[in-house]
Structure 1
Amino acid sequence: MSTGTIKKDSGFGVAQLILFISIAVLVIFVAWPVLLILFNAFFVDGSFNSHDFYEVLTEPETFQALINSLIIASMTTIGSTIVGTFFAWLVTRTDLPYKNFMKSLFLVPFMLPSFIGALAWKMLLSPNSGYINKFFIETFGFSGPVFDIYTYHGISAVEVMYLFPFVFIQVCGALERMDPTLEESARISGAGLFTITRKITIPLVMPSIMSGALLIMLYSMAHFGTVAVLGIEQGIYNIPTLIYEKIHQSGGSFESIRTGTVLATVLVVSAACIIWAQKKILSTGHYQIIGGKSFRPMELKLRGLRYPLLFFCLAYIAFTILLPTAVIFLVGGVKTYGLPFTMENLSLDNYKYILFEYEVTKDAIFNSISLGLAAAIITMFAGVMISYVIVKMKVRGKGILEFLGMLPFSVPGSVIALGVILAWSGQFGVNLYNTVWIILVAYIARYMAFSLKANSAALEQVHDSLMEASRSCGATMWQSLKDIVIPLVKPGMISAFFLIFLPALRELTVSIMLYAPTTRTIGVAIYTLNEDGETVMSTALAGIALILIVVGQMLINRFTKKVEG
């Protein structure tokens, strides 16, 4: 019995039909919007026009946004790489106490929305009304604020708090699988801890460090939330926030769309360069650190530094995660923003009002949950179909699917949103603008790659002989898929569902570009309420969002353990 991939003739026309539908889905939802951005950036009235492209880029406002994006992304990347690498080294290569627990804690920022963290740090370190600045002024008699969060350093510091897990995860994986022979040899030769780390460990895991750093650069370049909350007030715009301001201030005029497409093109080119550099680094053969045997990494003794470093790690988590989270819930419970956190000033009335009475937030919660569910279900089933073609079928053209399937993963959310505006605003006969459907289309485009990754991994584990045995017994291809493949990949499908539902629940970058007054999502409602001066209402809704996210993550973890068990 053959164990190769399913052959081209595994069912008359079925493979070609699935391939056609799969390509059509990705072209309509992913490729077409991105191509429209590139076309509108370089073509005016059907004619190529690079002069206008150059003029838009060299306008002081847009040029400054480009510079700001590079400054913030560079500072965030450097800071996140240092923090992530240091903590990864601590929890994998030293005898730090409670290492597994600490590793779990360092992954917590990965699931929290950074724009909610930015909102919390705005309330803590705002020069005029920040709680920490007020504490220093009232307690120590400072004449003015000690900290100012509305700066490049402030924005980058907040992004570092939530993005360092990109490096942390990759470096942890590399360090845990690394052959410790070279480190042990250096130690026998008398090299100290610092020398071994600097000259052997770090160089060997440098590809993983650089890969994580490039992901952070890509994410930070395209990040809307933190810069919108902390930068716009002081005139600090990056590319996504400038696209948003241009389009919403002008009501979607041609000139604003034109400027947006030029800036979006810059993001696409930047993303392409970053992805290329990442692949180049990972494909190099100069750093072969994983051998054929199973190794137990060498554990370096911290001696007297064990508990001081443990305290430092706990203090870092408390300061960067617990403190801002506590502030969100406390401010959401006060009667008026600025009142001290005393029992007489705190209640649950704001949370009750947000959940059961205030129409804006009730609609936002409903929209986010329904959009998240719809996007997760659609992409889950579409992802299974497309992944099946990529993994199991031998048909011409499936390489196109692999490229289109990964395109949303490398294209920033603001680019997806702008492309969807161009594609579905009536120009081609279908007008979804200012409806909830245009947000759903954008979610499907943005999160398709998540579904493909999860379902492809599940399908890789289903041996081809099962399908071939079913076909040899007379079952049709559809019967084999229904009775054998789908039940076996169901855990991967459910994993894909949650991988899409939770990010969609807290999504802001795409939704802020596409929302109408009646189609706000949770992220948009939090942001717009804060911009309107409704600080207490925005933080109360942010607290509810955090509860939904944490509960959802707990359900995912419980389901994952159940499946693995």
Structure 2
Amino acid sequence: MTAVAQPRASAWGRLRYRLSVWRREPTVLLGAVLVLILLYLVVAPLIAVLSDAGQVQYGDEEKAGAAAGSVTSFYLWRVFRSPVSQLLFWEPLVHTITVAIGVTLVAFVVGGSMAWLVSRTNVACRGFLSTALVVPYMLPSWTFALAWLSLFKNDRAGGQIGILEAWGVHTPDWLAYGAVPITICLGLHYYPFVFLLFGNALRRIDSQLEDSARILGAGRFTVLRRVTLPLMLPALSSAILLVFGRILGTFGTPYVLGLPVNYTLLSTSLFSAVRNHQQGVASVVTGVIVLIGVAVVLIDTRLVREQTRFVTVGGKGAMDRRSPLGRMRWPATGLGLGVFVVAVVVPVLVLALTTVTRTPGVFRRGNFTLKYWIAEHLDGAPGFPHGVLRGGDLYTAAFNSLRIVGIAALVCGVLGLLVGYVVVRTGGSRLSGVLRQVTFLPYLVPGIAFAAAFLSLFAVRRGPIPALYGSLALLVIVLIVTHLPYSSRSGISAMMQLGREPEEAAQVCGAGWLYRVRRVILPIQKGPLVAGVLLPFVSGLKELSIVIMLTTTGTQLLTTLSINLVDFAYSQMANAVVLVIAVVSFLATYLTQRLSRTSLASGLGG
């Protein structure tokens, strides 16, 4: 009896000791809980959507020749080999690659040239340009698409024609819709990626290396080819791959400009499959998008590691040297201002004009009106029979957006800081590595593919987890998960800069863990916490790809309200809603930079 009781008492004692340790220092326990929660919210949706690709879905029993839930390769055959595979997959894949290459070229030319002007020359208005040239990314991506339609739309798609058609200038379909406008609009939206990465890399290159090459007799193009480009290659490759990867999950612009001529990308093909209740087909397309996205990010990670092979040694003063432009200084300044006008001023001005004119392009006094903003009743608009500022649609969507995005951003910021705390405090452990990788995983998956994965997991009840489709909770969760990579990296960086001494001093004085977090960690990390909250908030306000398949009538957001108005061909009201989103997004971005004392253009000078 005594021999048996002793081990039991010893085991109970060890358990009590561990519980007391976890109560005083629950870092490991907190990390384990975070890993379990994130594995369910990050990995489980991907497993669910990929498993749907290999199981017969309800309603497809006759087509697949098997009972619902049976293992099948029917959807693989339908997407890759069937008579409709060209429309479902191969054509959208070719279109996606074509657009991605075109957008990358536009972004590289515009962003690279502007980065060189701002970083390496004495161009005038550098301070203004370094910030102004980043503004296009603050706007919703389909802002440019709606502005393009307002200018170039012909009578093919129905509804109001564009300004050029109203002036008697016929615009062909290839200019109004399809690959050309999608490429240009997305290129103008994503060139800030290249501008920022390229500009920061240019500033890190020691100008003495280029001077030395010139002294040895190398010409301008030889210096560029043999010195500058090898040092720039990792940053350039990362920028190109990031732009390429973003195109995979972009929905708004391809939908607005591709729908009238049935020009589909993988993102719009996936959306059509979900909307037509083809869950198995959607799962296969999602899997392909995920695989391409993972491949792009892995290549980018490899190139970033290769960057350590290109090291320059020099003084900061030499690195900051700028080439004088001479008599070309003001033409170069005009070029930079021209890019800002084309990418920001013209689209916003065109959208604003369409919302206050009855007939586009006619600037007579009698043609101006505010009815699309404030009218109590609009003729010929049964789906939206009042001005944007009348009725409750805009305010309900705005309230939903601010509430959902606000909650998600707040939770995201706190989670990011907690993840950073656990990763740093358990540094080098297996728990730290798993938590770091799980929080980064959503970055590998394009937004619309992640939305499809969440739809597959939460559309029906699974065990104790109820069906969440159509609820605000699902939107909050998906926004938290998809923005967690940014807030977690911010939290990890912040905690790595904070030593253990302040917390240990409080612990010596008898402070418990919660008290230390509340009175020591949070006050010290207030800045990173604010950034970890506000940055997901800014991004979430203009998010469409992630939420387009998860919203319902009761969970309408500003972004989905705008797209629904596009579907109804109410272009003036759609443009008005986009302007509201742009204003809110710009103000939120400005507030973020003021409160966090950061700048999107930091490192480019100004």
Same fold flag (TM > 0.5): yes
What's the RMSD between the two structures over aligned residues? 2.4
Q: CA deviation at 1:133?
A: 5.0
Q: CA deviation at 1:274?
A: 0.5
Q: CA deviation at 1:190?
A: 4.5
- Identify if the C-alpha distance between structure 1 residues 381 and 61 changes in structure 2 by more than 3 Å, giving closer, same or farther: same
What is the alpha-carbon distance in structure 2 between the residues aligned to residue 206 and residue 408 of structure 1?
Answer: 26
Instruction: Show the counterpart of 2:6.
Output: none
- Identify if the C-alpha distance between structure 1 residues 348 and 290 changes in structure 2 by more than 3 Å, giving closer, same or farther: farther
Matched, 1:55 2:78: yes
Aligned-partner residue type, residue 414 of structure 1: I
Q: Matched residue of 1:449: which SS? A: helix
Instruction: Show the counterpart of 2:9.
Output: none
Q: Matched residue of 1:95: which SS? A: coil
The match for 1:271 among 254, 271, 293 is 293
Instruction: Show the counterpart of 1:333.
Output: 356
- Identify if the C-alpha distance between structure 1 residues 144 and 339 changes in structure 2 by more than 3 Å, giving closer, same or farther: closer
The match for 1:97 among 109, 119, 124 is 124
Mapping 1:527-538, distance limit 5 Å: 527-538=563-574
My pick for the range that moved more, 224-233 or 346-355, is 346-355
My pick for the range that moved more, 120-129 or 370-379, is 120-129
Larger radius of gyration: 2
Q: CA deviation at 1:368?
A: 0.9
- Identify if the C-alpha distance between structure 1 residues 527 and 321 changes in structure 2 by more than 3 Å, giving closer, same or farther: same
My pick for the range that moved more, 58-67 or 221-230, is 58-67
Aligned-partner residue type, residue 459 of structure 1: M
Gaps of 5+ in 1: 1-7
Matched, 1:377 2:410: yes
The match for 2:421 among 388, 405, 411 is 388
What is the alpha-carbon distance in structure 1 between the residues aligned to residue 551 and residue 198 of structure 2?
Answer: 38
Instruction: Show the counterpart of 1:82.
Output: 109
Q: What do the CA deviations read for 1:412-460 (whole angstroms, capped 9, x no partner)?
A: 1111111111111224041111222222221122111222122222222
Aligned-partner residue type, residue 21 of structure 1: V
On the 8 A contact 2:420/2:491 being kept in 1, the answer is yes
Q: CA deviation at 1:176?
A: 0.7
What is the alpha-carbon distance in structure 2 between the residues aligned to residue 92 and residue 49 of structure 1?
Answer: 56
TM-score (norm 2): 0.85
Instruction: Show the counterpart of 2:49.
Output: 37
Q: CA deviation at 1:339?
A: 6.0
Q: What do the CA deviations read for 1:193-224 (whole angstroms, capped 9, x no partner)?
A: 44433442223101100101000000012211
What is the alpha-carbon distance in structure 2 between the residues aligned to residue 309 and residue 146 of structure 1?
Answer: 34
Instruction: Show the counterpart of 2:439.
Output: 405
Matched, 1:24 2:36: yes
What is the alpha-carbon distance in structure 2 between the residues aligned to residue 35 and residue 112 of structure 1?
Answer: 33
Matched, 1:307 2:330: yes
What is the alpha-carbon distance in structure 1 between the residues aligned to residue 149 and residue 340 of structure 2?
Answer: 18
Instruction: Show the counterpart of 2:63.
Output: none
Q: What do the CA deviations read for 1:271-295 (whole angstroms, capped 9, x no partner)?
A: 1110111111111157424437434
Instruction: Show the counterpart of 1:519.
Output: 555
What is the alpha-carbon distance in structure 2 between the residues aligned to residue 95 and residue 13 of structure 1?
Answer: 55
Q: Matched residue of 1:431: which SS? A: coil
Mapping 1:98-137, distance limit 5 Å: 98-128=125-155, 129-132=161-164, 134-135=166-167, 137=168
What is the alpha-carbon distance in structure 2 between the residues aligned to residue 346 and residue 453 of structure 1?
Answer: 49
The match for 2:492 among 451, 456, 471 is 456
What is the alpha-carbon distance in structure 2 between the residues aligned to residue 292 and residue 469 of structure 1?
Answer: 41
Matched, 1:282 2:318: no
What is the alpha-carbon distance in structure 1 between the residues aligned to residue 561 and residue 264 of structure 2?
Answer: 21
- Identify if the C-alpha distance between structure 1 residues 265 and 475 changes in structure 2 by more than 3 Å, giving closer, same or farther: same
- Identify if the C-alpha distance between structure 1 residues 371 and 279 changes in structure 2 by more than 3 Å, giving closer, same or farther: same
Q: CA deviation at 1:20?
A: 2.0
Q: CA deviation at 1:10?
A: 8.3
On the 8 A contact 2:22/2:29 being kept in 1, the answer is no
Aligned-partner residue type, residue 497 of structure 1: V
What is the alpha-carbon distance in structure 1 between the residues aligned to residue 226 and residue 572 of structure 2?
Answer: 51
Instruction: Show the counterpart of 2:458.
Output: 424
Aligned-partner residue type, residue 87 of structure 2: E
Q: Identity of counterpart residues, as a percentage?
A: 24
My pick for the range that moved more, 86-95 or 346-355, is 346-355
What is the alpha-carbon distance in structure 1 between the residues aligned to residue 226 and residue 30 of structure 2?
Answer: 52
Q: CA deviation at 1:180?
A: 1.8
What is the alpha-carbon distance in structure 1 between the residues aligned to residue 567 and residue 86 of structure 2?
Answer: 25
On the 8 A contact 1:133/1:146 being kept in 2, the answer is no
Instruction: Show the counterpart of 1:4.
Output: none
Gaps of 5+ in 2: 1-19, 57-67, 156-160, 376-386
The match for 2:27 among 4, 12, 15 is 15
Instruction: Show the counterpart of 1:3.
Output: none
My pick for the range that moved more, 125-134 or 262-271, is 125-134
Instruction: Show the counterpart of 2:528.
Output: 492
Mapping 1:90-489, distance limit 5 Å: 90-128=117-155, 129-132=161-164, 134-135=166-167, 137=168, 145=172, 148-248=175-275, 250=276, 253=277, 256-284=278-306, 287-291=309-313, 293-294=315-316, 295-334=318-357, 336-338=358-360, 340-352=362-374, 354=387, 356-394=389-427, 395-429=429-463, 430-489=466-525
Q: What do the CA deviations read for 1:82-109 (whole angstroms, capped 9, x no partner)?
A: 2221211111112212222211111111
On the 8 A contact 1:184/1:298 being kept in 2, the answer is no
Aligned-partner residue type, residue 238 of structure 1: L
Instruction: Show the counterpart of 2:91.
Output: 64
What is the alpha-carbon distance in structure 2 between the residues aligned to residue 438 and residue 286 of structure 1?
Answer: 41
- Identify if the C-alpha distance between structure 1 residues 561 and 379 changes in structure 2 by more than 3 Å, giving closer, same or farther: closer
Q: CA deviation at 1:315?
A: 1.4
What is the alpha-carbon distance in structure 1 between the residues aligned to residue 430 and residue 224 of structure 2?
Answer: 48
What is the alpha-carbon distance in structure 2 between the residues aligned to residue 302 and residue 371 of structure 1?
Answer: 49
- Identify if the C-alpha distance between structure 1 residues 287 and 419 changes in structure 2 by more than 3 Å, giving closer, same or farther: same
What is the alpha-carbon distance in structure 1 between the residues aligned to residue 570 and residue 76 of structure 2?
Answer: 39
My pick for the range that moved more, 534-543 or 549-558, is 549-558
- Identify if the C-alpha distance between structure 1 residues 358 and 190 changes in structure 2 by more than 3 Å, giving closer, same or farther: farther
What is the alpha-carbon distance in structure 2 between the residues aligned to residue 562 and residue 324 of structure 1?
Answer: 27
Instruction: Show the counterpart of 2:593.
Output: 557
What is the alpha-carbon distance in structure 2 between the residues aligned to residue 355 and residue 213 of structure 1?
Answer: 39
What is the alpha-carbon distance in structure 2 between the residues aligned to residue 289 and residue 297 of structure 1?
Answer: 17
What is the alpha-carbon distance in structure 1 between the residues aligned to residue 78 and residue 526 of structure 2?
Answer: 52
What is the alpha-carbon distance in structure 1 between the residues aligned to residue 171 and residue 492 of structure 2?
Answer: 56
